[in-house]
């Protein structure tokens, strides 16, 4: 596989071959490795010599289910530290089909028009396109798709172009909807400020992907698909999507409600996975409760949420968004949440960060909890690039500093996802310690056999999970595979070994994950994000969550044991 280096300053495009040492490195691991080596940790994330990396995993483009996630990474303008954020969609598979494991975007364009990187199996070139300037993601995708019918797309919306700190990056899914989002850490701002509006990946003419032990690999991929397709967790994901979590977390007192002031929401029944399923199936039309974002995925946790006339309101509608712009804002209508979600997707901002920020805004009295119109007005401000809009799009940490709020749910400058860390303390440990800042995908302990609102065993649970998840993120594998895999982790190493002709063990896999975490932590330390920042906001220790009857009480020194591998 190859690495494509694209320099936007001089428009130079270079292909490098992945060395055999690096053959297993993709996704998050590739990013940690390269940023660590190539980017000065103290550089300005937006105007310095930052690099933006897109990397799929070792299985991308092949038949292994749910393993075509695309990681994007850079020094984060939101956290100031290293950042990887991965998403589904078709991008990683398509890049692999052109022979690319990764793209490394360097420099800053001096063009006044936004650039589009056009990739096919013949060439890679940069084309300015004035017509895309300030265009929303949906319109951008529609336009580029008309011109390039056989292509997948990676795009930023106006928030990215304007360098807003919570801007995200969108990937088209199987239906060409630009809705699979590398959401966290403001990576869209890095892409936008560099002057890159879109990447068009035309894989209509594929390159053959090399598989060392092809027959064995194909059989393993089939067996693996069957295992995943038939698991109980998959059945649940397929029916209710990630929204199944609403009633789970509501029951645990872990559903962020009104700026994390409590963990159960009086309107939770209206926004549950059950309600979503019923609404979609009743309304019919374009709606579907189950849908796969990646070509090969058998989990199909995604959905299309329609309005009363069966027209798509947004696709997909996911748990994190429901938690952050729903219960966290006191909004109990799936239709309203879907509309907010569509706006965020189109403008290109992270729904988690936006929800966390609006939660602080409401708590500080800038508008009322439950006030849908105020939320839409704020999204309009962001779209129009006003000062107020920019402030809110700078994330909850900055808004908290400006308003003097006491209840600001962020770690290392990044807003908390939809799990209250007082109610699921193991995830609280992950939030506090992950090099990514508050990140629910970095080691979510919600399935660990623990009393989630007690402190026993939580550090250990996070410590065990974080390296494994870092390995999955390196392989481009969806974390929703984990419950299906259970203890059968040999599937992963068997697949790797058949693909690469190697002899990786399960222990090696964890070692790989640990190496990734170490690289990331080292980068952060050099950037000035030391272990001093490994903690939750004080209010989680001071205010009891009345629905989990708990405060966060794992002390700071104990948290540091998470990385004593």
Closer Cβ to a second copy, 165 or 304, answer by number = 165
**Pairing verdict, β 169-172 and 82-87:** unpaired
Structure tokens at 147: 């011109």
Supply the minimum distance, in Å, between the C-beta of residue 525 and a second copy: 8
Closer Cβ to a second copy, 470 or 536, answer by number = 536
Half-sphere exposure of residue 74, counting CA atoms within 13 Å on the CB side? Answer: 37
372-383 and 334-347 helices, crossing angle to 10° = 10
Binding of a second copy at residue 380 (CB under 8 A)? no
**Residue pair 64/56 in contact by the 8 Å Cβ criterion:** no
Closer Cβ to a second copy, 193 or 254, answer by number = 193
Binding of a second copy at residue 403 (CB under 8 A)? yes
Closer Cβ to a second copy, 397 or 445, answer by number = 397
User: Per-residue contact track with a second copy, 315 to 354, x per CB under 8 A?
Assistant: ----------------------------------------
Supply the minimum distance, in Å, between the C-beta of residue 31 and a second copy: 21
Binding of a second copy at residue 529 (CB under 8 A)? yes
Task: From 128-136, 220-228, 449-457, 527-535, give the range in contact with a second copy by CB under 8 A.
Answer: 527-535
Supply the minimum distance, in Å, between the C-beta of residue 244 and a second copy: 36
Total residues binding a second copy (CB under 8 A): 36
Per CB under 8 A, contacts with a second copy among 453-512 are none
Determine the length of the chain: 565
H or E element in which residue 314 lies:
strand 312-314
Binding of a second copy at residue 360 (CB under 8 A)? no
Query: Which of 390, 335, 395, 330 lies closest to 185 in space, CA to CA?
Result: 395
Binding of a second copy at residue 48 (CB under 8 A)? yes
Closer Cβ to a second copy, 506 or 525, answer by number = 525
Binding of a second copy at residue 449 (CB under 8 A)? no
User: Per-residue contact track with a second copy, 143 to 162, x per CB under 8 A?
Assistant: -------------------x
Closer Cβ to a second copy, 47 or 456, answer by number = 47
Task: From 24-32, 89-97, 246-254, 385-393, give the range in contact with a second copy by CB under 8 A.
Answer: 385-393
Return the HEC string of 181-233: EECHHHHHHHHHHHCEEEEEEECCCCCCCCCCCHHHHHHHHHHHHHHHHCCHH
H or E element in which residue 179 lies:
strand 178-182
Report the residue from 10, 14, 20, 47 that binds a second copy according to the rule CB under 8 A: 47
> Which residues neighbour 450 within 8 Å (Cβ) at sequence distance 6 or greater?
426, 456, 457, 458, 461
Closer Cβ to a second copy, 173 or 534, answer by number = 534
Binding of a second copy at residue 366 (CB under 8 A)? yes
Supply the minimum distance, in Å, between the C-beta of residue 436 and a second copy: 17
Binding of a second copy at residue 401 (CB under 8 A)? yes
Closer Cβ to a second copy, 237 or 354, answer by number = 354
Binding of a second copy at residue 235 (CB under 8 A)? no
Binding of a second copy at residue 394 (CB under 8 A)? yes
Rounded to whole angstroms, the maximal C-alpha distance in the chain is 62
Report the residue from 130, 215, 404, 449 that binds a second copy according to the rule CB under 8 A: 404
Burial (CB count within 10 angstroms: exposed 0-12, middle 13-18, buried 19+), residue 366: middle
Structure tokens at 560: 């540091």
Does residue 316 have a cis peptide bond before it, meaning omega lies within 30 degrees of 0? Answer: yes
Enter the DSSP assignment of 281.
H
Binding of a second copy at residue 112 (CB under 8 A)? no
CA distance 33 to 26: 10
Three-state secondary-structure class, residue 125: strand
* Terminal CA-CA length for the chain: 32
Report the residue from 398, 418, 436, 471 that binds a second copy according to the rule CB under 8 A: 398
CA distance 103 to 30: 11
Closer Cβ to a second copy, 356 or 461, answer by number = 356
H or E element in which residue 341 lies:
helix 334-347
Find where tokens 């039309």 sit.
285
Angle, CA 239 vertex, CA 233 and CA 244 arms, to 5°: 70
Residues that bind a second copy (CB under 8 A): 41-44, 46-48, 162-165, 189, 193, 366, 387-388, 390-391, 394, 398, 401-404, 406, 525-530, 532-533, 535, 538, 556
């Amino acid at each position: 596989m190859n690495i494509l280096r694209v320099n936007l300053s001089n428009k130079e495009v270079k292909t490098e071959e992945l060395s055999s040492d690096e053959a297993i490195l993709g996704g998050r691991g590739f990013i940690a490795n390269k940023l660590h080596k190539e980017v000065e940790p103290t550089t300005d994330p937006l105007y310095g010599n930052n690099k933006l990396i897109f990397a799929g995993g070792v299985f991308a483009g092949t038949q292994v289910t749910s393993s075509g996630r695309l990681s994007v990474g850079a020094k984060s303008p939101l956290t100031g530290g290293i950042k990887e954020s991965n998403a589904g969609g078709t991008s990683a598979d398509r890049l692999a089909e052109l022979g690319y494991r990764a793209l490394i975007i360097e420099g800053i364009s001096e063009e006044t028009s936004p650039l589009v990187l056009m990739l096919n199996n013949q060439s890679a070139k940069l084309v300015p396109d004035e017509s895309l300037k300030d265009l929303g993601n949906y319109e951008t995708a529609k336009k580029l798709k008309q011109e390039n019918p056989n292509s997948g797309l990676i795009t930023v919306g106006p928030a990215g172009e304007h360098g807003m700190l919570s801007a995200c990056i969108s990937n088209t899914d199987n239906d060409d909807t630009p809705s699979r989002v590398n959401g966290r850490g403001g990576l869209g701002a890095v892409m936008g400020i560099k002057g890159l509006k879109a990447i068009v990946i035309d894989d209509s003419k594929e390159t053959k992907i090399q598989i060392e032990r092809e027959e064995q690999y194909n059989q393993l991929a089939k067996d693996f698909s069957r295992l995943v397709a038939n698991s109980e967790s998959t059945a649940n994901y397929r029916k209710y999507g990630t929204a199944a979590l609403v009633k789970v977390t509501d029951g645990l007192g872990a559903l962020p409600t009104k700026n994390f002031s409590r963990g159960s929401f009086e309107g939770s029944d209206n926004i549950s996975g059950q309600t979503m399923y019923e609404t979609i199936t009743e309304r019919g039309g374009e709606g579907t409760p189950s849908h796969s974002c990646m070509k090969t995925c058998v989990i199909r946790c995604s959905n299309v949420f329609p309005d009363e006339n069966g027209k798509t309101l947004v696709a997909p509608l996911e748990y994190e968004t429901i938690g952050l712009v729903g219960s966290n804002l006191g909004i109990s209508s799936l239709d309203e949440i879907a509309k907010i979600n569509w706006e965020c997707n189109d403008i290109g901002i992270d729904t988690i960060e936006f929800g966390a920020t609006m939660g602080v805004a409401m708590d500080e009295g800038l508008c009322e909890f439950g006030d849908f119109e105020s939320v839409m007005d704020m999204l309009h401000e962001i779209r129009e690039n006003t000062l107020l809009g920019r402030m809110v799009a700078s994330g909850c940490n900055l808004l908290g500093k400006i308003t003097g709020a006491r209840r600001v749910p962020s770690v290392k400058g990044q807003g908390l996802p939809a799990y209250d860390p007082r109610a699921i303390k193991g995830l609280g440990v992950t939030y506090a310690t992950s090099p990514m800042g508050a990140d629910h995908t970095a080691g979510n302990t919600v399935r660990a056999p623990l009393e989630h609102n007690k402190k026993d065993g939580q550090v250990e649970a996070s410590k065990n999970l974080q390296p494994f998840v870092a390995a999955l993120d390196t392989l481009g594998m969806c974390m929703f595979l984990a419950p299906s895999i259970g203890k059968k982790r040999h599937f992963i190493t068997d697949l790797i070994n058949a693909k690469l002709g190697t002899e990786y063990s399960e222990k090696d896999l964890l070692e790989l994950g640990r190496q990734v975490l170490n690289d990331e932590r080292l980068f952060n330390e050099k950037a000035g994000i030391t272990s001093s920042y490994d903690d939750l906001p004080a209010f989680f220790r001071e205010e009891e969550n009345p629905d989990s009857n708990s405060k966060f009480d794992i002390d700071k020194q104990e948290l540091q044991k998470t990385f004593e591998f």
